[in-house]
Amino acid sequence: MKGKLRKVTSALLVSFMCASAFTGCGNSETKETEKVTNTQGEKGNKETPKTEAAITGADNVSIKELSEFDPLEGVTAKGADGKDATAKIEVTGEVDTLKEGEYELTYTLKGTDLSVTRAVTVTGIEAVLANGTFNYKFATSEVRHTFFAAAEDYLLHNQYAGIPLFADSVFALYSGRMQLATEEFLPVLQYATEYSTMAADDSKVLMEDGKNGNAGEYTYRTAISGNPSQWNQWKYDDQTTAGIMDDYLGTLFLYDFNEDKTGYVLVPSMASEDPIPLESRELPNGKVVSKKWQLKIKDGLKWKFNEKTDTSMITDETINAVDFYETYKLALTEKWFRATSSGFSDGPQAVVNAQAFVDGTAEWDDVGIKFIDDNTLEFEYVDEQSEWNVKYSLSSFVMTPINIELYEALGEKYGLDENSIAYHGPYYVDYYESDKVLRMKKNDEYHQADKYFYTGRNITIINDAEMRFQEFVAGKLDAVTLPATHFEEYKSHPGIKRLPGETTYRMMINGTGSKEGQLAQFPDSEWDAEPILGNQDFKMGLFYAIDRKKLAEEVLKTSQTQMYLFTDAYLVDAETGILFRNCPQGMSVGADLSPSTNGYNLDASRAYFDKALDTLVGEGVYKNGDEITFEFNYFSGSENQALMGTYIKDAVEEAFQSEKHNIKVKVEPMPKDFPGIYYDHMMIGEFDTSIGGIGGNTLDAASFLDTYTSDNRSGFTLNWGIDTTIPEIAVSYKNDEGKLVKELWSFDAIYSVLNGEIEIVDGAEVPEEEAAE
């Protein structure tokens, strides 16, 4: 096993209080006081011996990993009055029976000063290779968090995913009139600006034209960097367009506050109720799954049109199941991007025969989308789904209808502009001028119109970030991203809020290590791989060499300090709403990698460097007195990126100067254009090291693990010379039979089991073609 892996998977948290094996006692001599008796036989009087409170049975103990442990078993207590006081014992401390180690419990007796300390040693047991058919896609939150934590911990101890540098957090500024629905950042909802209100109307502020707005109107004013590229939601492919569509299109299910506003819930919106399972089965953990689900559409849904839209062909302004059904059929027939890319035909929620229909090998009647009645649709998925999975897959604005009558009238002209579509969201686009402004008005036909406070939304289109910021300073915007250049000036602004990012930017490493290794991975490559970059000890040295707090807060200013691969934005079990970094398993990841300093330890870095050189010099790869040089690519056109490149150079060169071998490292920062830095360098192995980062689905972090596999199954592997197929990750957990087990899994197997059913032989995946046989 590469690196010492210390897995914390599930803890037995002891919430009692404990004591030491020491018991208080008086002097061994019995002290007596006697009265003189008279000759009449007057009775003498003797004092009762004084006793002290005591706890017994809390001796130091050694138990085996995975065994059950009750800290109160066999422990008793007596009070100062000599009576039994066992019920008054309180225990504090923690014993994790799933992790070998030394633990300490403290026993106290309520109402006394008695305190006893007990050492509990958990001795490890040997892990066995996992074998069988598994599916933990619908497992308990504890099991999913346990496996995910084991996977991330493994990546960090091998640096197979690259060296974490910082997260892409930004700061936002909100205007004085904004009254945010929540002051705390929440998953999915963030600061819930869509549900927020305002303290003053538009007559008190400037609009994009420099004039005051209208009294009685409350327009949320923002700015974006570019124009929308598409008006048909089934064809869009950029985040700018998605952000706009999110306001003018409805959804079948909607993210809203939970009851106490500490998180979110996913509730029916255009749907009338939660999905209904057909031919379902109940898993051991109580969760219901099925391949067939019915969807009920709400009554009273209506279309909304821009006043310039020709609606002469519209015969029915209501929306029902027919509109959804005909849209889904059309999207697959026309092979629209969102229907075929992780939509109906691909991904974890793939529909039966959808891909075959797209390929021309199946008829529409064979596709698992059925029209039942005007309010009911039925879906048949390739894989089993839970209620949450179905709701989640249908919660995007993409999965809503277009107006078929308007489409049939316009043909290919449908979705070319704001006047060639129909709306069914909280707002509709009233006016749009390319490169200038997009204005929305509240849609009074929307079925939940009262849920939204704003009377409209104005989106100014300004390419330059500094110019967008100056519009905010001028009072023309209600929200803006704070540029790093203005952070010091505005860091105490009353409206400042941090927005945690989705991406951990990392130093990607070409670790093929040799000419032979490079050609094995990239047969046509002429790149000269640097040997030391393939050494595990050197990679760990790189990890410890980076002062992440300094890089994020002093060099980059507005970025977020980050030593992990997954930021604060990610969830592994979205149904619970628990952020992975906040759960016990998430907090245990990298516990031995100096989390108190965010992974920075210069002494450890230098020690790992010398260890790497001991190996490589011993193998004759380098010789004493050599100078090792490698490149570090960074994004061109950014002053901040250039500053980061300089910091990386200085930090690495400071750490890697070996007196023992008289060898030092030199780093050459190299600016590279986006997106070529990925496609022309990292993805094809034409680099030494490089900045890079890929964001994933924050509500399904497990689906994002495939970007770290060595077989490049996602198409986004950016680190080379790694092997994630080896079963070397020990996972201790309670299986479906309720039995505590300790098994060895490969990283690839963990990715697969968290995303569906997989056959495992000796801890590794069985290839699909072999499993089929």
Annotate 531-597 with DSSP letters as a single string. Answer: GGGG-HHHHHHHHHH--HHHIIIIISSSSEE--SSS-TT-BSSTTTT-BGGGSHHHHHTTTTS-GGG
User: What mean pLDDT do residues 635-658 have?
Assistant: 97
Does pLDDT of 38 surpass 50?
no
Q: Please, what CATH class does the domain formed by 12-28+47-123 belong to?
A: mainly beta
User: What mean pLDDT do residues 245-270 have?
Assistant: 97
Mean pLDDT score of the chain: 92
Matching residue, tokens 């106490």: 260
The answer to whether 99 and 732 are in contact (CB under 8 A) is yes
Give the SS3 label for residue 645. helix
Give the SS3 label for residue 190. strand
Matching residue, tokens 């009920």: 296
Give the separation between CA 296 and CA 290, rounded to whole angstroms.
17
User: What mean pLDDT do residues 495-503 have?
Assistant: 93
Q: Pick the residue with more confidence: 551 or 52? A: 551
Does pLDDT of 23 surpass 50?
no
- What's the confidence (pLDDT) of residue 28? 33
The answer to whether 537 and 596 are in contact (CB under 8 A) is no
- What's the confidence (pLDDT) of residue 696? 85
Instruction: Quote the Cα angle for 331-756-715, to 5°.
Output: 65
For residue 771, name the pLDDT band (cuts at 50, 70, 90).
low
User: What mean pLDDT do residues 437-462 have?
Assistant: 98
- What's the confidence (pLDDT) of residue 348? 83
Tokens representing 587? Answer: 């907090």
Give the separation between CA 702 and CA 697, rounded to whole angstroms.
9
Q: Please, what CATH class does the domain formed by 508-559+598-692 belong to?
A: alpha beta
Enumerate the β-bridge partners of residue 290.
Answer: 385
User: What mean pLDDT do residues 368-376 have?
Assistant: 98
- What's the confidence (pLDDT) of residue 773? 57
Does pLDDT of 30 surpass 60?
no
User: What mean pLDDT do residues 314-338 have?
Assistant: 97
Tokens representing 689? Answer: 């090291």
Give the separation between CA 681 and CA 658, rounded to whole angstroms.
30
The residue ranges of every structural domain in the chain are: 12-28+47-123, 131-153+725-772, 174-252+416-480, 508-559+598-692
Does pLDDT of 51 surpass 80?
no
Q: Do you know the residue count of the chain? A: 773
Instruction: Quote the Cα angle for 29-32-33, to 5°.
Output: 155
Give the separation between CA 480 and CA 269, rounded to whole angstroms.
29
Does pLDDT of 19 surpass 90?
no
Output DSSP code: residue 423: B
User: What mean pLDDT do residues 349-368 have?
Assistant: 97
Output DSSP code: residue 507: E
Does pLDDT of 34 surpass 90?
no
For residue 341, name the pLDDT band (cuts at 50, 70, 90).
confident
User: What mean pLDDT do residues 402-427 have?
Assistant: 98
Pick from 26-40, 149-163, 264-278, 575-589: least confident: 26-40
Give the SS3 label for residue 428. strand
Tokens representing 483? Answer: 């540029």
Q: Which residues contact 449 (CB under 8 A, 6 or more apart)?
A: 426, 442, 443
- What's the confidence (pLDDT) of residue 605? 99
Would the CA dihedral through 266, 268, 273, 276 be positive or negative?
negative
- What's the confidence (pLDDT) of residue 49? 54
Q: What per-residue string of b and e applies to 147-174 under the rule 16 or more CB within 10 Å gives b?
A: bbbbbbbbbbbbbbbbbbbbbbbbbbbb
Give the separation between CA 41 and CA 272, rounded to whole angstroms.
96
328 half-sphere exposure, CB direction, 13 A CA radius? 23
> Exposed/middle/buried for 413, CB within 10 Å: 0-12, 13-18, 19+?
exposed
The answer to whether 398 and 340 are in contact (CB under 8 A) is no
Digit-coded pLDDT (tens) for 725-743: 999 999 999 998 899 999 9
The answer to whether domain 174-252+416-480 has CATH 3.40.190.10 is yes
Q: What percent of the chain is predicted at pLDDT more than 90?
A: 89
Does pLDDT of 15 surpass 80?
no
Give the separation between CA 272 and CA 299, rounded to whole angstroms.
8
Q: Which of 249, 412, 238, 240 is nearest to 323 (CA)?
A: 249
Digit-coded pLDDT (tens) for 582-615: 999 999 999 999 999 999 999 999 999 999 999 9
